[in-house]
Amino acid sequence: MKAAVLGYGTVGGGVVDVLFENKDAIASRVGEEIEVKYILDIRTFPGDAHEDLITNDFNRILEDKEVKIVCETMGGLKPAYEFTKSLLEAGKSVCTSNKELVAAHGPELLRIAKEHNCKYLFEASVGGGIPILRPLLDCLTAEKIDEITGILNGTTNYMLTKMDKEGSDYADVLKEAQEKGYAERNPEADVEGYDACRKIAILASLNYQKTVNYEDIYTEGISAIDSRDFAYAAELGMNIKLLGMCKEIGGKKYALVAPFMLSPENPLYAVNDVFNGILVHGNMVDQVMFYGRGAGKLPTASAVVSDVVEEAKTIGKASAVKWSDEKVDLSDKNELEFGYFVRINGNPENSNYNELFADAKVIGKDGITGEFALVTGRMTEGEFLKKYESLKDAVKFIRIK
Amino acid sequence: MKAAVLGYGTVGGGVVDVLFENKDAIASRVGEEIEVKYILDIRTFPGDAHEDLITNDFNRILEDKEVKIVCETMGGLKPAYEFTKSLLEAGKSVCTSNKELVAAHGPELLRIAKEHNCKYLFEASVGGGIPILRPLLDCLTAEKIDEITGILNGTTNYMLTKMDKEGSDYADVLKEAQEKGYAERNPEADVEGYDACRKIAILASLNYQKTVNYEDIYTEGISAIDSRDFAYAAELGMNIKLLGMCKEIGGKKYALVAPFMLSPENPLYAVNDVFNGILVHGNMVDQVMFYGRGAGKLPTASAVVSDVVEEAKTIGKASAVKWSDEKVDLSDKNELEFGYFVRINGNPENSNYNELFADAKVIGKDGITGEFALVTGRMTEGEFLKKYESLKDAVKFIRIK
């Protein structure tokens, strides 16, 4: 069985490594060896162990009838979208880690694959090395899944964990994450929640079998979280995590991405550093969590290769994944209920908070002066925002899960 | 598609509930409805909503050509073993939660199923509602899995969590667990680790594709754990969990079940109450954890029904699960390396501990007198046990993961 890899960057390099390193284990599962015939990259890699496989000519791969499976690990929409379409139209299955492309064109690419008796597989697009899409679709099949909540971005989770455990400032941990290669020079996609948003859009779409447009999802990142928020959170015995969430209540569907305060009872509380955790709630099984490395060369490559194995074992069979073009009408997130942590300048005595939030608990924290904080009871976000608008000297709020 | 359920106890009742409650969701995944045609039980259930389906005649099910899938939720070997064999020989697939039967006769029943173009499926036999067998076999296919460590028994985890959080005594938490129905009147299978042992035997067998005999696995339960152990553990910032473990090092295979001290860095540390967690280590993906309800009516039933869905979607196709009769020769657990927590009567000054464990750290705990404790460095269990034998006034030891 011959395969090709598009893009010899971090994940692409990992895919090649996994296919070579675990060649025998993979062959025993597939029933035959998987051989990498081409690696597409516009760069050259003099001295690379697989230099002979590298080509900059996409058409060689497209036109080679021996190549049945292609791993797309380029990322981004251009040229990945056109390449993927051409490959699927040529009947070659594509396994990808490219969440941007999946979130933007998933249903179309799935349809093209179906029409050409091949598959478009994207286990690696959500949760890195964590098996999540296949468990969701092929294992939790006795369930009505009413909520999926995940720590879906390793970079921000690394940053929030540092802020939590070491009391560091946002700017410092961002710099450190950039130095370690966890965050990009332009960290927007991670810290503003766009990456998590695409991932929850994919999860929600697969769960609803229709399209949740990522642009419709209310998305709030972590760039406004500071060390004082963590000091208050610690006082409350909680921590702060960036969560992507989709939820169905009484037939209405909701999705959002935002930082949340979590208590230790929540299994996501203990998901730290670059790890991801995806908590799925079903009406029979209650909570199930999938945990592991949500990013990184080899974990992500492992998920891409698991798709290669799946395809190699079922070649010529169409995928059973249902994800139609039909759009999911998300309901207004202001209908969702949360508790709220609110910071207010000044002191409780001079605040109008108790006219608005009668049952709120006031929280002070040694070393923090000139402000105080509240924890409100649970209410709809709409109700909260209305009161919050009337709150004098409000600094910010964070939702409580 | 017609199904039958053997045993209308907790899990069997749950299977019937799930199949009725989620009928539409399940039908949409299978492509047709799954109808329960019989429920086998020797008892009668006057007034039960499904009274008309209940029969005490196994042969009616066996001989009914319409019944393609049978859920075996009786537990135990007798008569489940004979029933399962007959059903498989009649070409009916069997989905089970019966870990005793799977651990004792898994490879034989898989072989009979294969010979008769049907399947023997047992997702529910390990980890209750947690998808674990299918993710292990069908998702982590790019990996060489070198370790599986799990909290596999909900009853003991409930007890240990209570002892940890509330400082309760073993006898009290056992009584409470029995009152809540989590523990049996005769709690041996849970508290002595036999249940966890069968589950790790199943996981290890599937991973090695050969038979790990559960009787070969060194098994130690939690009945010797007391509140002082937890007091010391708290002093060390750790807790105590009953772990089932299989591990491959340099081609040698090991398995054991024992209580371990865990630090908060271990993802299993936060798996509390009746929840289970299974941590899988692969050479590419690093750590992946699967978490959820390891027991209970509906979660376990959910896993049984996920097998029913799998079978209904692939009826007539043999299972790809490889688990041969060939026995795995487990290596001596004394070759494994751990750290050790050791309790010793008397005080450090009069002890010979430092002749034996030169680099050990001594731990005292306010309120505990007449004894002290050590934490040793890591060494093989063989080396440790030799030293431990020479240790004067030793009370007990607990391994540290």
Report pLDDT for B290.
98
Contact with chain A for residue B284, Cβ under 8 A: yes
Contact with chain B for residue A306, Cβ under 8 A: yes
Pick the CATH number of A2-128+298-313 from 1.20.1250.20, 2.40.50.140, 3.40.1710.10, 3.40.50.720: 3.40.50.720
Instruction: Give B179-230 as a DSSP string.
Output: HTTSS-SS-HHHHTSHHHHHHHHHHHHHHHTSB--GGGSEE--STT--HHHH
Secondary structure string (H, E, C) spanning B357-386: CCCCEEECCCCCCCEEEEECCCEEHHHHHH
Share of chain B above pLDDT 90, in %: 96
Contacts of A285 in chain B (CB under 8 A): 129, 292-293, 298-299, 302-303
- Write the pLDDT tens digit of every residue in A359-400: 999 998 888 999 999 999 999 999 999 999 999 999 999 999
Two tokens, residue B142: 């790019």
Report pLDDT for B182.
87
Spatial CB neighbours of A250, under 8 Å, sequence gap ≥ 6:
none
Task: Determine phi and psi for A349, rounding to 5 degrees.
Answer: -60, -35
Mention the CATH class of domain B133-293: alpha beta
Contact with chain A for residue B286, Cβ under 8 A: yes
Contacts of B138 in chain A (CB under 8 A): 134, 138, 310
Q: Which of B139, B302, B305 sits opposite A131 (nearest CB)?
A: B139
B282/A310 Cβ within 8 A: no
Q: Which amino acid is at A294?
A: G
Distance CA B161, CA B343 (A): 21
Question: Is the Cβ–Cβ distance between A363 and A374 less than 8 Å?
Answer: yes
Q: What is the mean pLDDT of residues A44-72?
A: 97
Report pLDDT for A116.
97
Strands (E) located in A175-311: 218-219, 239-249, 252-262, 275-282, 286-293
Q: Is residue A331 packed enough to be buried (19+ CB in 10 Å), middle (13-18) or exposed (0-12)? A: middle
Outline which parts of chain A fall under CATH 3.40.50.720.
2-128+298-313
Report pLDDT for A284.
98
Distance CA B274, CA A366 (A): 37
The whole-model pTM stands at 0.97
Fold of B333-400: Alpha-Beta Plaits (3.30.70)
Catalytic position from the list A92, A99, A199, A241: A199
Outline which parts of chain A fall under CATH 3.30.70.
333-400
- Single out the residue of B218, B207, B216 nearest to residue B324, CA to CA: B207
Task: Determine phi and psi for A23, rounding to 5 degrees.
Answer: -45, -50
Chain B 117-146, CB below 8 Å of chain A: which residues? 123, 129-131, 134-135, 138-144
Contacts of A283 in chain B (CB under 8 A): 21-22
Mean pLDDT of chain B: 97
Contact with chain B for residue A77, Cβ under 8 A: no
Report pLDDT for B366.
87
Spatial CB neighbours of A2, under 8 Å, sequence gap ≥ 6:
A34, A35, A36, A37, A64, A66, A67, A68, A69
Residue A79: cis peptide before it, omega within 30 degrees of 0? yes
Whether the pLDDT of residue A12 is over 90: the answer is yes
- Write the pLDDT tens digit of every residue in A342-363: 999 999 999 999 999 999 999 9
Whether the pLDDT of residue A49 is over 90: the answer is yes
A320/B22 Cβ within 8 A: no
Contacts of B282 in chain A (CB under 8 A): 302
Share of chain A above pLDDT 70, in %: 100
Residue A273: closest CA among chain B residues belongs to which residue?
Answer: B265
Whether the pLDDT of residue B11 is over 90: the answer is yes
- In which band, very low, low, confident or very high, does the pLDDT at B114 lie, cut at 50, 70 and 90? very high
Contacts of B308 in chain A (CB under 8 A): 142
Whether the pLDDT of residue A181 is over 90: the answer is no
Q: What is the mean pLDDT of residues A134-141?
A: 97
- In which band, very low, low, confident or very high, does the pLDDT at A182 lie, cut at 50, 70 and 90? confident
**Is A199 labeled as catalytic in the residue annotation?**
yes
Among A141, A208, A319, the residue to mutate for chain B (most B Cβ within 10 A):
A141
Report pLDDT for A68.
97
B310/A141 Cβ within 8 A: yes
Contacts of A138 in chain B (CB under 8 A): 134, 138, 310
Mean pLDDT of chain A: 97
Q: How far is B118 from chain A (nearest CA, A)?
A: 19
DSSP A211: B
Q: What is the mean pLDDT of residues A180-208?
A: 95
Spatial CB neighbours of A201, under 8 Å, sequence gap ≥ 6:
A103, A212, A213, A214, A217, A255
Strands A67-72 and A54-55: unpaired
Alpha helices in A116-219 (DSSP H): 133-134, 154-166, 170-179, 188-191, 194-208
Q: What is the mean pLDDT of residues B266-271?
A: 97
- Write the pLDDT tens digit of every residue in B273-322: 999 999 999 999 999 999 999 989 999 999 999 999 999 999 999 888 99
Among B18, B95, B147, B285, the residue to mutate for chain A (most A Cβ within 10 A):
B285
- Write the pLDDT tens digit of every residue in A303-348: 999 999 999 999 999 888 999 999 999 999 999 999 999 999 999 9
Question: Is the Cβ–Cβ distance between A261 and A225 less than 8 Å?
Answer: no
Among B19, B21, B288, B300, the residue to mutate for chain A (most A Cβ within 10 A):
B288
Q: How far is A306 from chain B (nearest CA, A)?
A: 5
Question: Is the Cβ–Cβ distance between A360 and A400 less than 8 Å?
Answer: no
CA dist list (Å): B333 to A359, A392, B342:
57, 65, 19
DSSP B123: G
Q: What is the mean pLDDT of residues B146-169?
A: 97
ipTM: 0.96
- Write the pLDDT tens digit of every residue in A291-301: 999 989 999 99
Question: Is the Cβ–Cβ distance between A279 and A150 less than 8 Å?
Answer: yes
Spatial CB neighbours of B299, under 8 Å, sequence gap ≥ 6:
A284, A285, A286, B128, B129, B130, B292, B293
Q: What is the mean pLDDT of residues A230-248?
A: 97
SS percent in chain B: helix, strand, coil, step 5: 40, 25, 35
Whether the pLDDT of residue A163 is over 90: the answer is yes
Fold of A134-293: Dihydrodipicolinate Reductase; domain 2 (3.30.360)
Residue B24: closest CA among chain A residues belongs to which residue?
Answer: A144
Going edge to edge, which strands form the sheet with B67-72? Answer: B54-55, B35-40, B2-6, B67-72, B93-96, B120-121
In b/e form, how buried is each residue of B276-291, taking b as 16+ CB within 10 angstroms? bbbbbbbbbbbbbbbb
Whether the pLDDT of residue B364 is over 90: the answer is no
Q: Which of A29, A142, A305 sits opposite B22 (nearest CB)?
A: A142
DSSP A251: T
- Write the pLDDT tens digit of every residue in B177-236: 999 888 889 999 999 999 999 999 999 999 999 999 999 999 999 999 999 999 999 999
A306/B141 Cβ within 8 A: yes
Residue A135: cis peptide before it, omega within 30 degrees of 0? no
Q: What torsion, rounded to 10 degrees, do the Cα atoms B257, B262, B266, B267 define?
A: 70
Q: How far is A240 from chain B (nearest CA, A)?
A: 17
Q: Compare A365 and A19 and report the one with higher pLDDT.
A: A19
